[in-house]
Structure 1
């Protein structure tokens, strides 16, 4: 009798372990994103952790610290601009209860890129990992027709073909893209295989008109793949003094996030830009410089200038800025409502 009881216990444990590691299914239905049939609202952050002095090479040396800060802030999703080809990193992100939007570039020298087709090798390698939320194809490529023989239709056609291949390879995760602002009729007509439209939106501190425009033209899910403001004022404007100004950044984020979460019937969330300041983006990589270029950046609050190295919710040393608490309050409120 004891022998049979032991076998039953072992079988129960094996079944329980199998259930714990069961692959999740991310789907889109009725303008929303679902994980295992549970509505998923993105309370996210863009994440590209480059240390001081590095030209543009990510480092995972601060990952544990970063994930702790993300958990504190209620972040449930990180958006990365290139694939994470490290199982230990993906495991740690998943164990922190956070999902990843994996971004693929067009031409990355044949390393998991769209041009060479090697992006599908990455998807085959990691498609069963429960850290994955979506597969993203391109970031603001609509601003760069010169990369595609001066005809942006070439990009939309390639993006659509890549998305179709993803559908046949991995039916359990949606395809997305990070489009520069609202996609036009051409983009939508040539890209039917994109399941979720991410939009990098810099319309001062009020993205709300965009949500209503989207609802009028398309029924697919959308989210803001980039938005926010920097913590440096190039000029004194709108009541904010010139120079480093964390209050300007915090106020902009508060206004933007309120509009995002007031429109959850249309908008599936946001990955605010960005987790940490990026000292590699303008000038000397060993110091924090003002300036830097970003296409279509005139709508950045409150001075219309991007100051690319000042966008973090924490600084390069992981010290929280004022915007961190704004994000935390908004995100935790949304997450608590879902419980």
Structure 2
């Protein structure tokens, strides 16, 4: 969130939540081109370092800044709280410095002053990175979000055109593979994707260079996923630092491929059984989006985050409102229900950002009979697609779940198992995890070493609708 508000002069340590009797307060203004007051590095007389991180212009607290205690190597890392305060306890007396980092701000490195009563206190003023404007500029790259419209200029002639995402979630694991995809499968995938007339695939954890090249050759774009484990403690500053660094390298390594459409962060972190139904997750998304902009600059690709349904979208308490996510360009959502109309109506009231549906549809197995009901799957998927088109004022398209069946998800990867979870959103009241594909898999029958692929009725239906 770009902090704003009236200026507040800091005249005592009380904004840090520190009792007024503590001495040794030091305010350090870290302005570019301004060195600030000279501070002698001294030994702490106590065992606690407390302080507050402030935004230089507004003097408001900077939340979730990563505060490192250095001596000279890092000995402790904490996050600042919502109001910018922090506390580091159990520190042996010696000489220390504080290094403070937060995406969108210039990193600071300051001395810790000597304190009294076992406490040293510091107020740190961070300057915004001048290359990260408060309002994210319109991208000058080959793809961009302009208001609620996804636009492309892939031929780079300067004329942007609206683009609708029509594609599939892509994880074509062969039978017995346990989820792994061999490189030799990608030519086959590209041919079938061509036949389906998709213009986009959505991945979950990066993309193999071979498939990225095939996608580029076939004019298929990629919503490339940056996987974040749903078990991660997102309040852990070390974990956040690792994720930001990994994402920086991730974007740097892929940004120049003509096949990249956008960056998609995480997958359903907000669902109750995962670990991101909190402000720490959405704030991390903002930091990652800023990080991508730092890497790509004026020609940046859009950034989205795959939310479970539309839950939390627009909620400032979760840091999921537009102001808190000023550098995330659009929402992504995995949403499963037959009638999406009411969901889109609610979405319009929550945010000014568009959305791409990164998963929708149903599986092909009737759990009541343990037989496939392909016609029901095709009708359900087609209805969802028509609703996506009808919501084009807010929805830029979608990637159906999914391209092929995945036999590894509910048991033995060598057998097509029944298994998943109960849901009121499916006609049979159940989601069978291994039966979602537009393409049905069966074991190799002709000795060519490959699984047999059979297009389901939904595949044929989308061939017509996406032509």
What band does the TM-score fall into relative to the shorter chain?
0.7 to 0.9
Given that 2:361 and 2:377 are in contact with CA atoms closer than 8 Å, whether structure 1 keeps it comes out as: yes
Q: Which has the larger radius of gyration?
A: 2
CA RMSD of aligned residues (A): 2.3
1:105 aligns with 2:238: no
1:71 aligns with 2:205: no
Q: Distance in 2 between matches of 1:197 and 1:246?
A: 30
Given that 2:244 and 2:287 are in contact with CA atoms closer than 8 Å, whether structure 1 keeps it comes out as: no
Among residues 262, 266, 269, which one is paired with 1:138 in the alignment?
266
1:117 aligns with 2:210: no
List per-residue Cα deviations over 1:272-324 (Å, max 9, x = no partner).
0000000010011001111124xxx6244212311000000001232100110
Given that 2:167 and 2:199 are in contact with CA atoms closer than 8 Å, whether structure 1 keeps it comes out as: yes
Task: Give the match for residue 158 of structure 1.
Answer: 284
Among residues 162, 169, 189, which one is paired with 1:46 in the alignment?
169
Alpha-carbon offset, residue 177 of structure 1: 1.0
Task: Give the match for residue 458 of structure 2.
Answer: 323
Among residues 358, 364, 373, which one is paired with 1:231 in the alignment?
364
Given that 2:334 and 2:358 are in contact with CA atoms closer than 8 Å, whether structure 1 keeps it comes out as: yes
- TM-aligned CA distance change 1:52 to 1:114, over 3 Å: farther
Given that 1:136 and 1:177 are in contact with CA atoms closer than 8 Å, whether structure 2 keeps it comes out as: yes
Given that 1:253 and 1:326 are in contact with CA atoms closer than 8 Å, whether structure 2 keeps it comes out as: no
Among residues 428, 431, 440, which one is paired with 1:306 in the alignment?
431
Task: Give the match for residue 301 of structure 2.
Answer: 173
Tell me which moved more, 265-274 or 187-196.
187-196
Secondary structure in 2 aligned to 1:252?
A: helix
Task: Give the match for residue 258 of structure 1.
Answer: 386
Task: Give the match for residue 56 of structure 1.
Answer: 179
TM-score (norm 2): 0.60
Q: Is there any run of 5+ residues in structure 2 with no aligned partner, and where?
A: 1-139, 154-159, 233-237, 442-451
Alpha-carbon offset, residue 165 of structure 1: 0.6
Secondary structure in 2 aligned to 1:135?
A: strand
Given that 1:32 and 1:221 are in contact with CA atoms closer than 8 Å, whether structure 2 keeps it comes out as: yes
Larger relative helix fraction: 1
Among residues 144, 166, 176, which one is paired with 1:27 in the alignment?
144
User: Aligned pairs, how many?
Assistant: 296
Q: Which has the higher contact order (CA 8 A, sep 6+)?
A: 1
Q: Distance in 1 between matches of 2:174 and 2:288?
A: 32
Alpha-carbon offset, residue 114 of structure 1: 6.4
1:198 aligns with 2:324: no
